[in-house]
């Protein structure tokens, strides 16, 4: 059917048929001037929709190209036929909203104002059909609309060319970015593969560590069970353990007693020598008195409490070391410089031996110590030098028997 139809002229110059000036019936497609059909079909009906309508009118599939389909459809718009009726129905259905909006216009001027509004917005497809088919659309408005649409198509074509150039530039940039993205994705893939391998390795190590821990716990549980079984198999195990502990304590006590006996024997020998030599000392004391070597005496305190009164605060640790090294318990009072002087009497009462640092002590503390030791008979040595070596000599002197100590320190209070 389309091949037998003449091709349309896009810009026709034959006489126009004037649209009706009154009435409310919208004009049909075949009522329009022929020069309006080409822009109307080209703008208002997409090519796939137009080909579908042509195929429906032919009852088959058209083999013509897009231009031939367009040209045949424009030719058929001049008369009422199946294809023109299908296009009329399609236009009314597709642009029902625009038709309803233009329906409110009651004059050609109102239609023109609506057309200009849609033209500026770039939405001309539905507005062109609604305005052309409007009963108030006259010949001047119709020609003005065709001219506006003609220029709009030119501008749209230029815009399309600009958009194509812009699209090509964006496509090229997109290709570059795509290649860069591919490289980044490749690197990410390698990193992810490495991280996955590391995670798998760490997971395997974690499983191995858990297995080792479970194995150790199992061995501990088995050993505890074996220990319980072994303890249950030994009769009176608790009594034997208690007796063994008692034996160990007695052996330790025996060693302490043996050491104490050896010390007493040594001290007895020293005392005997001192008594034997005392008569000689008394006879020759005015000429050349014999003084025993105090430092040669072996000192053993046997857990006696040694109170050191006075001394330098920086030497207290050395004092403690000297006393504890020979088996004593160290106690200290600063002699009233920092410690409360009222505590001194309690410390003196709790001490077994007293060493008074006369160079680093208050006068009140000095007389307290001297008076207390004189009244109670507690062994006391007065040392002028606050050094650790002086403390050692004082310990050696204070542990000598009374006769020897009297020779060495006659001023010692008894």
Show the tokens assigned to 310: 């006075």
Question: 338 lies in a domain?
Answer: yes
Sheet holding 305-309, edge to edge: 329-333, 305-309, 353-357, 380-383
Question: 373 lies in a domain?
Answer: yes
- Among residues 44, 54, 55, which one has the least CA distance to residue 91? 44
Question: 388 lies in a domain?
Answer: yes
Q: Between the CA of residue 61 and those of 49, 114, 257, 278, 294, what are the distances in Å?
A: 13, 39, 128, 152, 136
Show the tokens assigned to 389: 């070596």
- Cβ-based neighbours of 114, under 8 Å, separated by 6 or more: 101, 102, 105, 127, 131
Cα-Cα-Cα-Cα torsion 374, 377, 383, 386, nearest 10 degrees, comes to: -100
pTM, two decimal places: 0.36
pLDDT at 282: 58
Greatest CA separation for the chain: 174
DSSP letters along 42-66, please? HHHS-HHHHHHHHHHHHTS---S-H
Name residue, tokens 């409007």.
Answer: 134
pLDDT at 9: 38
Show the tokens assigned to 110: 């109102």
Question: 274 lies in a domain?
Answer: no
pLDDT at 154: 80
Domain of 375, CATH number, reads: 3.40.50.2300
Tally of domains in the chain: 2
The 8-class DSSP code of residue 136 comes to T
- Exposed, middle or buried by CB within 10 Å (0-12, 13-18, 19+), for 276? exposed
Question: 367 lies in a domain?
Answer: yes
Which of 129, 162, 195 represents a domain boundary (last residue)?
A: 162
Pair 369, 394: CB distance under 8 Å: no
Question: 403 lies in a domain?
Answer: yes
pLDDT at 414: 34
Which of 162, 177, 210 represents a domain boundary (last residue)?
A: 162
Show the tokens assigned to 224: 């505890």
Q: Which residues of the chain have pLDDT under 50?
A: 1-22, 285-286, 288-296, 404-414
- The predicted-structure confidence for 212-264, as pLDDT tens digits, reads as follows 999 999 999 989 988 888 878 887 777 888 888 888 888 888 888 888 888 88
Distance of CA 134 to the CA centre of its chain: 71
CA torsion sign for 385, 390, 395, 400 is negative
H/E run at residue 94: helix 82-94
Question: 275 lies in a domain?
Answer: no
In degrees and rounded to multiples of 5, residue 51 shows phi and psi of: -65, -35
pLDDT at 232: 81
Angle, nearest 10°, between helix axes 139-233 and 125-132?
A: 150
Question: 3-state DSSP: the chain helix, strand, coil percent, rounded to 5?
Answer: 70, 5, 25
Which of 106, 137, 162 represents a domain boundary (last residue)?
A: 162
Which domain does 377 fall in, by range? 297-408
Q: 3-state class of 355 per DSSP?
A: strand
pLDDT at 364: 84
The 8-class DSSP code of residue 354 comes to E
Question: 202 lies in a domain?
Answer: no
pLDDT at 3: 42
pLDDT at 385: 76
Three-state helix/strand/coil letters over 160-173 = HHHHHHHHHHHHHH
pLDDT at 10: 35
pLDDT at 217: 92
Q: Within a 13 Å sphere around the CA of 93, how many CA atoms are in the beta-carbon half? A: 8
């Amino acid at each position: 059917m389309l091949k037998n139809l003449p091709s349309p002229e896009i810009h026709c110059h034959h006489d126009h048929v004037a649209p009706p000036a009154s009435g409310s019936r919208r004009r049909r497609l075949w009522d329009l001037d022929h020069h309006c059909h080409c822009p109307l079909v080209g703008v208002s009906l997409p090519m796939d929709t137009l080909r579908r309508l042509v195929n429906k009118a032919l009852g088959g599939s058209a083999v013509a190209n897009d231009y031939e389909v367009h040209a045949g459809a424009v030719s058929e718009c001049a008369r009422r036929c199946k294809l023109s009726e299908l296009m009329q129905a399609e236009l009314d259905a597709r642009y029902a909203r625009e038709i309803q909006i233009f329906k409110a216009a009651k004059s050609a001027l109102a239609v023109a104002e609506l057309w200009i509004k849609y033209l500026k917005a770039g939405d001309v497809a539905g507005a062109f059909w609604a305005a052309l088919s409007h009963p108030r659309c006259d010949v001047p408005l119709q020609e003005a609309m065709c001219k506006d649409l003609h220029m709009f198509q030119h501008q749209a074509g230029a815009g399309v060319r600009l958009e194509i150039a812009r699209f090509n530039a964006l496509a090229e940039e997109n290709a570059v970015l795509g290649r860069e993205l591919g490289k980044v994705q490749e690197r990410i893939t390698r990193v992810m593969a490495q991280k996955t391998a590391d995670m798998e390795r760490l997971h395997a190590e974690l499983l191995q560590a858990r297995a080792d821990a479970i194995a150790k716990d199992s061995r501990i549980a088995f050993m505890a069970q074996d220990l319980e079984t072994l303890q249950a198999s030994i009769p009176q195990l608790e009594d034997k353990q208690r007796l063994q502990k008692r034996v160990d304590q007695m052996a330790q006590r025996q060693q302490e007693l043996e050491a104490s006996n050896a010390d007493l024997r040594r001290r007895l020998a020293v005392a005997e020598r001192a008594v034997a030599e005392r008569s000689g000392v008394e006879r020759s004391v005015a000429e050349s008195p014999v003084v025993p070597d105090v430092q040669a005496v072996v000192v053993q305190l046997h857990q006696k409490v040694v109170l050191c009164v006075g001394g330098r605060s920086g030497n207290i640790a050395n004092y403690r070391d000297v006393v504890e090294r020979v088996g004593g318990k160290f106690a200290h009072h600063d002699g009233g410089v920092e410690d409360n002087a009222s505590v001194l009497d309690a410390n003196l009462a709790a001490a077994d031996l007293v060493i008074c640092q006369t160079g680093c002590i208050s006068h009140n503390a000095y007389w307290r110590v001297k008076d207390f030791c004189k009244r109670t008979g507690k062994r006391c040595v007065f040392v002028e030098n606050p050094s650790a070596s002086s403390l050692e000599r004082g310990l050696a002197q204070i542990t000598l028997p009374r006769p020897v100590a009297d020779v060495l320190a006659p001023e010692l209070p008894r």
